Chains A and B, each alone.
Chain A
Amino acid sequence: MRDAAGMAVTELAAAIASGELSAVEVTRATLARIAARDGVTHAYLHVDSEGALQAAAQVDRARAQGEKLGVLAGVPIGIKDCMCTRGLPTTCASKILEGYVPPYDAHVVERVRAAGGVIVGKLNMDEFAMGSSNENSAYGTARNPWDSARTPGGSSGGAAAATAEGLAGATLGSDTGGSVRQPASYCGVTAIKPTYGRVSRYGLIAFASSLDQVGPIARNVRDAARMLGVIAGHDPRDATSVTRPVDDYEAECGKDVRGLRVGVVKGATDRGCDPAVVEAFARTQKQLTALGCELVEVELPHQEHALAVYYIIAPAEASSNLARFDGMRYGLRVNGDDLRDTYARTRGAGFGPEVKRRIMLGTYALSAGYYDAFYLKAQKVRTLIKRDFTQAFSRCDVLITPTAPTAAFKFGEKSGDPMSMYMQDIFTLPPSLAGIPAVSVPCGLSPDGLPIGLQICAPELEEKRLVRIGHAFETAIAWNHRPPRFS
């Protein structure tokens, strides 16, 4: 018999709906796999066995009574620990929120539950989603299932690792500057960063509000499309939530991509890419041509400024958002001499080094006299970056870059130098700043046997193009590589 924990989301949902498998046995298989493997991978910060089995039993009861099942009915789903889950700890992998149990579900969590998804637990991440390697988790780093000496990427490292190793059918991560795409690339799975506003941020603990989006991570494009269909849509509780109706993303799987114009960013791999990534990207272009796509060279002249712009805007917004963690209403409190001293000691003890660094950077960039020189200037350059994409999309339907300049690196390799760590995001930052959707799909293995990711970007609210081409590409290269310990 097949191991239910390794099956795709759409296969699982079909098998449960037909009665071939029960939701309870699928959940048990997933929990057993977590028990057997997560001691090494450490993808989960909290596993809710009891709640998951109850939710699964409810799916089985609903089926027995002939009720219509949701599109995720009985599918085990993991949630990154920055999304609020009613009754389940939510820490953002930070000591400042240790033991915090939210009184409500994030919008995306409500949606997953309403679709019959079984929430298995909360996933490891870089503290407050700040990081590219998971080394900033206050509770020990998640490890890459392909090689446990290497990072699963970040900040949604636990989500990508859990998905790659079959510790959930699919997971939800969050992406501010690449945080679902880069770990998906490192772990050989697929992740979609939706258009800013396509998915409600209600209940997502804020990092940088003008950039944050929740996105699905799955083992194939069809699964990611189904997950996106579940979580996308207007929510009046998020004022930036887009009202336009949600497309049928899954219906794009299997559609023809002949004649699709694919923009290749000029000089995309000139900047610090590993030879294996350069080679995989070149091979990808040939494969897309073979599929009948038309390759077009495009330019994004202001892309080189994305790193500086991002590391002004995101920390500035973070320094404001994280002001709420002051030890008064939730989480840690360290008593000081007076109120201000209590704030400072609580935050000094509760936040880790990267979070402190970004709060400091952001506070500096917003401080009196520097707002125009840093924050306002960065927001203007952001306009130029966005215009570059608008111009490029007048000549192509989607555009491609590598997802990251390297495959998964070893722990400790970049943690001593913030700038070299930030460089991992050079390809994922520009679409985030422009608010446009992007997907990362696996496009090959390095000579070391590590996955390499391809990033495909589309204009605003054209996620369906990403699904169409992503699915066609994944099918063409017959991507079925799994970590060595997968089966």
Chain B
Amino acid sequence: MAAPTITIDVVRHVAKLAALSLSPTEEETMCRELRAILASMAALEALDVSGVPPTFHAVAMHGGLRPDEVRDSFPRAELLAAAPAHEAGGFAVPKVMDGEG
């Protein structure tokens, strides 16, 4: 499948997916650079990988999941101290729903 040309609209769409605000200058630069980077990857397209399984984990000898046991977590105050804003023992975040908060 051929990748589409990267346009400003594509850059804006991807930035929205990534929750990343970009200035108009950054959008221009990103458009140019992504085009160049993706063009350099074109050789991959020609490579036949039918029947080849993907490698999601390079080394298969890991220990897997640990037993699901109840353990102490971090003290709440210590975690909240690192937050930009907190109130009533929780992270304070902008309102996410309409109506009564």
Residues of A near any B CB (own CB < 8 A): 100-104, 195-197, 210-211, 234, 236-237, 239-244, 304-305, 307-309, 311-312, 319, 323, 326-333, 335-336, 338-345, 347-349, 351, 353, 356-357, 359-361, 363-364, 367, 370, 372-374, 376-384, 386, 418-419, 433-436, 460-461
Contact = CB atoms under 8 A, between A and B. Distances in A.
A316 to B, nearest CB: 11
Contact of B37 (A239, A347, A361): A361
Contacts of A330: 82-84
A372 B1 CA distance: 9
Interface string B32-67: 011011001101110101001111111101111110
Contact of B47 (A237, A305, A326, A356): A305
A308 B40 contact: yes
Closest 4 CB pairs of A and B: A435-B58, A348-B21, A379-B54, A333-B84
A380 B66 contact: no
A103 B74 contact: yes
B33 A357 contact: yes
B88 interface: no
A419 B32 CA distance: 12
A283 to B, nearest CB: 32
Contact of B52 (A244, A323, A342, A383): A383
A234 B3 CA distance: 42
A347 B20 contact: yes
A242 B84 contact: no
A268 to B, nearest CB: 19
For the residues of B in contact with A, the DSSP-based class is loop
Given A236-B63, A242-B62, A363 B83 contact: no
A462 B82 CA distance: 41
A309 B49 CA distance: 13
A341 B47 CA distance: 41
A360 B59 contact: no
Given A308-B41, A328-B93, A356-B30, 8 more contacts: A100-B82, A244-B61, A359-B18, A360-B15, A373-B3, A381-B49, A383-B54, A418-B33
22 contacts: A103-B78, A103-B82, A196-B57, A236-B66, A240-B62, A241-B63, A244-B61, A304-B43, A308-B44, A323-B19, A333-B85, A344-B19, A348-B23, A351-B20, A353-B29, A364-B34, A373-B45, A379-B56, A418-B33, A419-B37, A435-B57, A460-B61
A97 B40 CA distance: 32
Given A339-B94, A377-B49, A419-B37, A243 B62 contact: yes
For the residues of A in contact with B, the DSSP-based class is helix
B62 A239 contact: yes
A237 B66 contact: yes
Contact of B59 (A195, A237, A364, A367): A195
Contacts of B84: 327-328, 330-333
B96 A381 contact: no
B99 to A, nearest CB: 14
Given A103-B79, A308-B40, A356-B22, A241 B47 contact: no
Contact of A382 (B16, B23, B55, B59): B55
Given A100-B82, A339-B95, A344-B21, A433 B58 contact: yes
A367 B14 contact: yes
Contacts of B95: 338-339
A360 B14 contact: yes
B55 A386 contact: yes
A356 B40 contact: no
Interface string B66-85: 10000000110011001111
A307 B44 CA distance: 10
Contacts of B33: 357, 418
B55 A383 contact: yes
B8 interface: no
Most chain B C-beta atoms within 10 Å of own C-beta, residue among A104, A234, A335, A363? A363
Contacts of A236: 63, 66
Nearest to B31: A360
